[in-house]
Amino acid sequence: MIWGILGLGIILRLISLNQSLWLDEAINVMAAKSFSLPGMVTQYAVADFHPPGWFAVLWFWGKLFGYSEISVRLPSVIFGVVTIYITYLLGKKLVSKNLGLLAALLIAINPLHIYYSQEARMYSMAVLAVVVNIFILIKLIHKERVNIAFIVLSNILILLSDYVAYFIFPVELILLILLKEWKLVKKWFVAVIIALVLMSWWIPIFFNQLNVGAVAAENLPAWRFIVGGFDFKTIPLTFVKFIIGRISLADKTLYYALLLPICSLFAYLLLNGIKKSDSFQKKLLLTWIIIPPLIATLISLVVPVYNYFRVLFILPGFIILIAAGILYFKNKARIIFLVTVVLIEFICSLLYLLLPGYQREDWRGLVSYFQSFKPSIIVFESPGILPPFDYYAKGSLNAKGALSDFPAKDKNAVSNLDLLIKGYKEVYLVDYLVQISDPNRFVAGKLVSLGYKETDIKNFNNVGFVYHYVKE
């Protein structure tokens, strides 16, 4: 049966895999195409606050299989499918084969896990790294022989994946202390220290990343809350996203009316799973799903790190508890809860997979629109052309960055705009992330002052508005 679940997981993760790359994916891909491997890991990574693992994977994969949307996302698909299998093994070892199968099914159809299994970023890799590490730890606790080399390698995999995933190490230490596994604490420390020593070459780059990140946070205050600034809504939002993924509705009254019973159901099952678990299961699963968000919240008071997708690696623990909550019911009640949960997860996944409005930024659609009539000039609310636009346009369109400073703090940031558009009767302005790059709309104001009039507006999915200006 596990093979059928894995097959379902593969199919769901291949649907709409060719959707347009969004900003962060395109930045990574364009870098992988232009940098050498050492440059990708030591130079490019300084400006992208993550460990080097994903960057190396993308570089090698791209060189072998190319840089199409499907190709660059396939590693994340693979990581996601392997995670389904490891979740099955975790559930089986913790409770029973039935729980392992149900947990595998629930993560196979989980809309948030599907979403990030289709993203050319490091989050699917981080989830896999953590579940492998947890599985090895459980084997150690069960007194099974595990070569220390495998423990070290699993630690290195975490260190290579994502910084927030590092919060699993305090989870494991606290768990071993709660279980009074003092011999394992020593072995655990040795394995972590060896992994850290082997990764010590990364420390100077990490501090460079911190310096670059600090400057960015100071110059771009609005960016703080996009990348993970502290907000009291963050933890409940994490719970919601773990259930329905990135689905939302324009009608917020209807959205909350639907969300309340769904979240209440999952909360009930979660609490039931906790209540019915034995002491070891409680300690493992609760430390796994509680401590990383708590640490991330505290750190985000100073440095923005907490966003729900950054703690995606706790999702398997959450799913196992939900599965336990379902299976501890008997007969008809179990079937009703099982069918209801599966339907909710499956419907939310299909909404994302089949409706473009829930998918990533449609840069491909934007470029196709412009290529259909080749406008005289396109300007961006940035110092240059944005990578996803460049990925699709491949130099076929006349596009420029309107800002000389980023972000635009005053009118001097657009002082060269008149020279940039001199001689053009029509200008198309793409206002992507304008709230960060040009919150005071200096570019639009400058266009008006130069005698241009806004005549048309088009909206592109998750990219934003394109304004058509014509010289009066």
Backbone angles phi, psi at 466, to 5 degrees: -115, 120
- Structure token pair of residue 210: 């911190």
Minimal CA–CA distance to 281: which of 426, 103, 400? Answer: 103
Q: What does the alpha-carbon distance between residue 318 and residue 302 come to, in Å, rounded to a whole number? A: 27
Structure letter (DSSP) for residue 35: S
- Give residues with Cβ within 8 angstroms of 319, minimum separation 6: 87, 103, 106, 107, 110
Contact status, residue 388 vs residue 26, Cβ threshold 8 Å: yes
- Structure token pair of residue 223: 């960016």
What local confidence, expressed as pLDDT, does residue 258 receive?
Answer: 95
Shared-domain flag, residues 408 and 331: no
DSSP output for 190-225: HHHHHHHHHTGGGHHHHHHHHHHHHHHHHH-HHHHH
DSSP output for 150-177: HHHHHHHHHHHH-GGGGGHHHHHHHHHH
- Answer with the one of 358, 393, 413 that is the final residue of a domain: 358
Shared-domain flag, residues 339 and 381: no
Q: Which helix (H) or strand (E) holds 466?
A: strand 464-471
Q: How far is CA 470 from CA 438, 448, 453, in A?
A: 21, 10, 5
Shared-domain flag, residues 47 and 195: yes
Q: What does the alpha-carbon distance between residue 296 and residue 299 come to, in Å, rounded to a whole number? A: 5
What local confidence, expressed as pLDDT, does residue 280 receive?
Answer: 94
Backbone angles phi, psi at 52, to 5 degrees: -85, -5
Q: Look-up: residue for tokens 């299976």?
A: 327
Q: Could you give the number of structural domains in the chain?
A: 2
Shared-domain flag, residues 376 and 340: no
Shared-domain flag, residues 294 and 398: no
What local confidence, expressed as pLDDT, does residue 261 receive?
Answer: 97
Q: What does the alpha-carbon distance between residue 302 and residue 218 come to, in Å, rounded to a whole number? A: 12
Neighbours of 432 (CB within 10 A): 22
Minimal CA–CA distance to 458: which of 370, 381, 386? Answer: 370
Contact status, residue 443 vs residue 403, Cβ threshold 8 Å: yes
Shared-domain flag, residues 351 and 457: no
Shared-domain flag, residues 112 and 255: yes
Calculate the dihedral angle through the C-alpha atoms of 141, 92, 194, 200, rounding to the nearest 10 degrees: -140
Domain with 401 in it: 363-471
Shared-domain flag, residues 244 and 378: no
Shared-domain flag, residues 383 and 460: yes
What local confidence, expressed as pLDDT, does residue 210 receive?
Answer: 81
- Answer with the one of 358, 380, 406 that is the final residue of a domain: 358
Question: At 467, is the secondary structure helix, strand, or coil?
Answer: strand
Q: What does the alpha-carbon distance between residue 60 and residue 249 come to, in Å, rounded to a whole number? A: 39
Q: How far is CA 201 from CA 51, 120, 153, 167, 207, in A?
A: 12, 25, 16, 21, 11
Instruction: Tell how strand 452-460 and strand 464-471 pair up.
Output: antiparallel
Shared-domain flag, residues 53 and 132: yes
Q: Which residues pair with 429 in a beta bridge?
A: 379, 467
Contact status, residue 315 vs residue 127, Cβ threshold 8 Å: yes
Shared-domain flag, residues 321 and 403: no
Q: Look-up: residue for tokens 């080097």?
A: 52
Question: At 453, is the secondary structure helix, strand, or coil?
Answer: strand
Buried b (16+ CB within 10 A) or exposed e, 340-350: ebeebbbebbb
Shared-domain flag, residues 251 and 333: yes
Q: Is 56 exposed, middle or buried, given 0-12, 13-18 or 19+ CB atoms closer than 10 A?
A: middle
Taking only the tens of pLDDT, the chain with its 472 residues reads 999 999 999 999 999 999 999 999 999 999 999 999 999 998 898 888 899 999 999 999 999 999 999 999 999 999 999 999 999 999 999 999 999 999 999 999 999 999 999 999 999 999 999 999 999 999 999 999 999 999 999 999 999 999 999 999 999 999 999 999 999 999 999 999 999 999 999 999 998 888 877 776 666 666 655 665 667 788 899 999 999 999 998 899 999 999 999 999 999 999 999 998 999 999 999 999 999 999 999 988 877 788 999 999 999 999 999 999 999 899 999 999 999 999 999 999 999 999 999 999 999 999 999 999 999 999 999 999 999 999 999 999 999 999 998 888 899 999 889 999 999 999 999 999 898 899 999 999 999 999 999 999 999 999 999 999 999 8
Q: What does the alpha-carbon distance between residue 285 and residue 283 come to, in Å, rounded to a whole number? A: 6
What local confidence, expressed as pLDDT, does residue 28 receive?
Answer: 96
Contact status, residue 14 vs residue 8, Cβ threshold 8 Å: no
Q: How far is CA 32 from CA 40, 54, 55, 382, in A?
A: 6, 11, 7, 22
Contact status, residue 118 vs residue 16, Cβ threshold 8 Å: yes
- Answer with the one of 323, 358, 393 that is the final residue of a domain: 358
pTM, to two decimals: 0.94
Let me know the angle formed at the C-alpha of 19 by 15 and 24, rounded to the nearest 5 degrees. 125
Question: At 289, is the secondary structure helix, strand, or coil?
Answer: helix
